[in-house]
Structure 1
């Protein structure tokens, strides 16, 4: 700069740049002397005037002198939002909050979309202790700043998280949540019970009273996720949507189709063999397979509905936005890791991984529309994935602002079909389903008959086994309780009594692995490695299958689709008596 000044001694900007280097090195007196030369050649050099004011404000605590320079800038160009922002920032750094607010407010009025200004306003409100305003300006900053790796964006994001966390700790939104619970109880005419469940595979879930034969709804939440209020509120909206759809006569039930789990296993066979070759225990592979199946179906059902739910929470319950922001940030971070971790990518079936990634990116895009957080950019998306994501998003936008009760189920069906996951589930009308099940309850024999008709089992029965089956059917025809299964369950309950839950879970997964190709109820000679010294008939194995999951993994019992509830209740009564 000195060389340039030597060659061009009348250029004001060269002097200003040289002064800035001295200012950054801490030679403030030297910087002032050079700025005097800069202003001699151009008295209206705004950046020289601002720098002079900054030095007096920050390093000499001389607000009066600083103002003489700042005012010259404002008077000559009152709409210069960058200059106003710089002045406000200088006062903010020096702790002059009233003066900082004066200039930052003028800058914000001049250009509210400039992220540096909204960040300054956020930091100002942070120092003033107004966390609500700090959060709001922080969200505006990350929404308007496109460079998500830059300092302005990252500072704004951290400010939003810090302000939201503070407000949540102050119980902001708690009254709103209590009122919301009471609203749902009035709407559904049923109590809402909230319980912790550390074994829950997701952050939270709702058990709707009608679906579980209860006179109350139950919301379960995993304590691993600390933003409990958001999780509860989210599940309350699930209840609200279902109630509205029921009132409109078009509520739907999402049901996994019988027998499709084995079909799913065949589609991921290559990945399972890879796990086997690496020496992964069968119990772990069984758990992995079931988790994968359940997980992708949860995404099919929840992803489109969750978009509407978070919109409703954001729009109708503003006091819950702070906990909503923190919770969605954590959930989206986990969703990103779930499809981008190299270890997960190496072991996961590519097709399922792709479909899961598509769902996750749609959720990330939605999070950005609410709070500006740019998580979609973190994903490495292939062109065909981007095309499908855009198609899903466009369909959601069509429904977003004028959704009728129950229309969210249309997206569930459409997206499931588009990703070719519809063979594994069906949406059935609640009225029709309940009416049908009131007339004819599904008995355990129906399930055994389905297994019996499985083509994989054709010709597997010996002559004496066929006779045993014939006698069994004659004995139990027309009865509601399958006594053989119930008696086997008594033995299972006795076997598992006092056993650590993790040990029971290992047995449950081993039996699930045995059942990958179906369990033939008439077959004998099944072996369970973790129950040495016993031989299992098909009926006995089915009973132990059910009981092990009921004891160790009750939250997933329904997904087995084994209608032995009455037998299990009877077995429990017999063991208790």
Structure 2
């Protein structure tokens, strides 16, 4: 065994009573310390260094007993470990690690002077013991605020093993905790250059940049930490999550990304040729929604955000990208409409009958069960439609609008937490159809995996998935990646169709090529007054107005009736009330659900030719369908009228007064 020293400050720290430049003093002191029993060390001196050679007979240890002692230390049972370590030192005094572990038991108990004395012995037997050097430096820095002494030991670590990134990270972390940012940066940067994939290092640098006020770099390093750390329950991962959220939220509060969002709104307005308006609406059931101008007979697109969700800028950008994708598909004549097969609602109800019986046994009112069925039906179809498209949308935002990444992160994190709860809450699982829960979970896992691909957050690991659910999620993910980097307009609809078929949900929806709503017919020769008289003379709507008639009626309404009452809708409601008057409530409810499914993508008031399977041999203009929509729900499910977001209360009151 050989021990090497440089004639340096470090040697002075270990042997403070000798003059290290005096060879005679050095030899006497070292021989005295390193002589054991009748064995004497051999000492060689040069002008700059000292070499100590020890006989092999002195090199013994007891690993099994030492393992017992370290096990007690790991459990925090330091007082029990201490006598074991002291006995090991008495029997095997040349083993540095025995001293180092004993010193650590005193350091943990706050006996820092005692720990230093023992660490000096540890370093005398092994001057390159990294953990003893680091512990010694930490004690001087943390408890005695003696940075100069601490650096003496830390520099020995770098000298002994300059590529020991773990040691360098620990030193940097100590200085970071002490607020010594320059020193922390020195060591953490060295560690990062050696191993930029070590999660402790990226976290340390992230925390350092946060303290320096560089929130963008802090956020990016937190994301790197997610990607580098596999254990989601580790302290490093959890600290990185705290850092990412705090950095991102602070940047959002500083309005970072706001200018980019304004530019994006203008881009969408230029692309679509229509103004974009934004408004809050607490009545919508989702975080946000977009209402296409064409589907609502408006001259502008409307993005609604739910004030329950604070990360508005991301939600707005997300909905604007729905507009962008649809417009790009339209230009290639490949835009599709997602249409629920409303006639299949009863089939869906039958498929979940077991779960509905559980609700009935709990005394849940039938009206609430109906609402539950309707919501579940719409919910799973919403996932079929939105999941593939949302993947492409979030990719676009991440890559093309980097200034929005901070709000995108906190928003997606919240949405993923809610999605996880929706399919993992035991109370929800107990009352929900297992088949629907499985399909919803598959969609959520794919979304979680996508979030991880962008930001490194391992949300997928939080799901308890069955093997076949994981297999299906993997298949969806692989298919998405086939399209991901070179998606062409409208290709998102292929994924919607494929995934719907794979999950056997395609019976409940269809994708239909969007057709132009511009009329090529001759302009009607009827005057607005003629049209109103036609409605008044035919209040039960045995015939319907064509598209040009509707346009003329709209103009007449604006000129004569103002904007408070839509006379077309009111008169159509008279016809609807008369039509439903003698029909069973359940029949009217079926019609209500059919219209709701038909209107999932919006009902264009200026469009004609809508068909209802449950009202055969009929053709509905947009206004007429809106009237039947409202009336059927008002009759059968009045408690859900507000969910329709149809501002026709005054028209309905007028229609009832005309009967």
Q: TM-score range by the shorter chain?
A: 0.7 to 0.9
**Whole-angstrom CA distance in 2 between matches of 1:285 and 1:239:** 34
Is the CA contact 2:573–2:655 (under 8 Å) kept in the aligned structure 1? no
Between the aligned partners of 1:402 and 1:478, the Cα distance in structure 2 is 46
Determine if contact 1:339/1:357 at 8 Å carries over to the other structure: yes
- Report the equivalent of 2:24: none
Q: 1:8 to 1:388 in 2, by over 3 A?
A: same
Is the 2:576–2:628 contact (alpha carbons within 8 Å) kept by the matching residues of 1?
no
* Structure 1 residues 266-285: aligned runs within 5 Å: 266-285=350-369
Of the three residues 222, 240, 244, the one matched with 2:324 is: 240
SS at structure 1 position matched to 2:515: helix
Correspondence for 1:31: 115
| Partner residue of 1:307 out of 372, 375, 391 | 391
Alignment of 1:104-503 (within 5 A): 104-431=188-515, 434=517, 476-477=542-543, 486-487=573-574
Partner of 2:86: 2
Distance 1:213 1:474 in 2: 24
> In structure 2, do the counterparts of structure 1 residues 407 and 400 end up closer, same or farther at CA, with 3 Å as the change threshold?
same
Aligned residues of 2:136 and 2:150 also touching (Cα < 8 A): yes
Tell me how far apart the structure 1 counterparts of residues 214 and 449 of structure 2 sit (CA, whole Å): 29
TM-score by length of 2: 0.71
The superposition leaves residues 23-57 of structure 1 with CA deviations (integer Å, 9 ceiling, x where unpaired) of 12111111111111011111111111111111111
How many Å separate the matches in 2 of 1:516 and 1:217? Answer: 26
Higher helix share: 1
**Distance change >3 Å, CA 516–CA 173, structure 1 → 2:** closer
Assess, with a 3 A threshold, how the Cα gap between structure 1 residues 48 and 514 changes in structure 2: closer, same or farther: same
8 Å contact from structure 2 (residues 589, 632) kept in 1: yes
Kindly provide the CA deviation profile for residues 71-119 of structure 1, in whole angstroms up to 9, marking residues without a partner as x: 1111222211111101101111111111001111111111110000011
- CA drift of 1:547 comes to 4.5
Tell me if structure 2 keeps the 8 A contact 1:546–1:557: no
Q: Is the 8 A contact 2:540 2:576 kept in 1?
A: no
User: Matched residues in 2 for 1:576 and 1:124: separation?
Assistant: 71
Q: For 2:422 and 2:399, how far apart are their aligned partners in 1?
A: 29
Aligned length: 505
Measure the CA separation in 1 of the matches of 2:439 and 2:327.
30
Distance 1:2 1:161 in 2: 47
Which ranges in structure 1 are unaligned for 5 or more consecutive residues?
A: 440-471, 493-507, 523-539, 559-564
Aligned-pair CA distance for 1:431: 2.9
Question: Any unmatched runs of 5+ in structure 2?
Answer: 1-84, 522-537, 547-567, 580-584, 596-612, 617-626
Q: Are 1:489 and 1:571, in contact at CA under 8 Å, matched by a contact in 2? A: no
1:165-201 deviation per Cα after TM superposition (whole angstroms, max 9, x unaligned)? 1111111111111111111111111111111121211
Cα–Cα, structure 1 residues 38 and 474, in superposed 2: closer, same or farther, change >3 Å? closer
Task: Give the superposition deviation at 1:319.
Answer: 1.1
Task: Specify the alignment match of 1:528 in structure 2.
Answer: none
Aligned to 2:17: none
Give the 3 Å change call, closer, same or farther, for CA 571–341 of structure 1 in structure 2.
closer
Tell me, in whole angstroms, the C-alpha distance in 2 between the residues paired with 1:243 and 1:102: 52
* 1:258 Cα deviation after fit: 3.5
Task: Give the alignment's TM-score, normalised by structure 1.
Answer: 0.81
Deviation of 1:219 after TM superposition, in Å, equals 0.8
Structure 1 Cα separation of the partners of residues 630 and 175 of structure 2: 74
Q: 1:186 to 1:424 in 2, by over 3 A?
A: same
Q: Deviations over 1:396-428 (max 9, x none)?
A: 111111111111111011001111111111111
| Equivalent residues of 1:282, 1:510 under 8 A apart | no
Cα shift at 1:211: 2.4
1:490 to 1:194, Cα distance in 2 relative to 1, 3 A? farther
**Secondary structure of 2:158's match?**
helix
- Work out which of the two has the higher radius of gyration on C-alpha atoms and give 1 or 2: 2
How far apart in 2 are the matches of 1:475 and 1:385? 50
> CA, structure 1 residues 251+572, in 2 after alignment: closer, same or farther (shift >3 Å)?
farther
1:514, distance to aligned residue in structure 2 (A)? 10
* Cα pair 1:56 1:66 within 8 Å, conserved: yes
Separation (CA, whole Å) in 2 of partners of 1:138 and 1:162: 10
Give the superposed CA RMSD: 3.3
Q: Deviations over 1:522-565 (max 9, x none)?
A: 9xxxxxxxxxxxxxxxxx9987324467996455479xxxxxx9
Distance 1:576 1:195 in 2: 33
* Distance in 2 separating the partners of 1:87 and 1:269: 63
